[in-house]
Amino acid sequence: MPLEAPLSPVAARVADLNARYANHSATSVLEHALTDPQVGQVALVSSFGAESVALLHMTAVIDRSVPVLFLDTEMLFPETLDYQRAVADRLGLTDVRIVTPDRTLTFLADPAADLHRRDPDACCALRKVEPLRAAIAPFDGWITGRKRFQGGQRAALQFFEAEDDRRIKVNPLAHWTKDDVQDYMINNRLPRHPLVSKGYPSIGCAPCTSPVTPGEDERAGRWRGQAKDECGIHFVDGRAVRGQAPRMPL
């Protein structure tokens, strides 16, 4: 049966969902997110990064036809692109949508593909924030793989979040630990991203990701040496948490 139109406002639905599913497992939260009329039509946004396969597998077990949005910034590691295709095929995902930046905008704002060196926030806005904003616009909510143990703004993460009064963000793995993720991947014999074994526990765009040495924080290799730790794809009041859209030439 088709989902009923979700109720408004978003904040009220999020409060109700968090109250109802507070003590549920990650699998249960995900299953309800895919079927609960209070959530609406949702898509899974995945980077196909170091730990992404756990949530992708969990989703595929429930419903392989769930839309999966993969953001190809056109600056990813070749290994990530190969891994994305391999994982999607192995899990039998039937609706993987490749999201890319607008070619005209990237030509105008980043013709030499070096914006990441001059203004990484602007580069993220151009290649991540705006393409994703457009891709998730038709949906009532989106599913992320964010977890509390990743720290920073994620330390108090709940299963359901209000993204303004626009849509709901679902974080089924919010309460999982690093060990929970690894155990799930081992128990289900899931393939690992090839760069993990080379010292990349957190994987983004190739120019802005470096290996991590033993003892360093997992995200230390992301935008190393810069006052930046998020790409800005999470929105507050309709705007990216970090970064401004780059100015386009007139």
| pLDDT tens profile 192-211 | 999 999 988 889 999 888 88
Residues catalogued as catalytic: 231
pLDDT band of 227, cuts 50, 70, 90: low
Establish if 93 belongs to a structural domain: yes
| pLDDT tens profile 23-69 | 899 999 999 999 988 899 999 999 999 999 999 999 999 999 999 99
Establish if 49 belongs to a structural domain: yes
Establish if 4 belongs to a structural domain: no
Q: How many domains does the chain have?
A: 1
For residue 38, the surrounding DSSP H or E stretch is none
Establish if 2 belongs to a structural domain: no
Establish if 21 belongs to a structural domain: yes
CATH, residue 99:
3.40.50.620
- Is pLDDT at 149 greater than 80 in this prediction? no
- The structure's pTM equals 0.84
Pick the closest to residue 26 from 183, 198, 236 (CA basis): 183
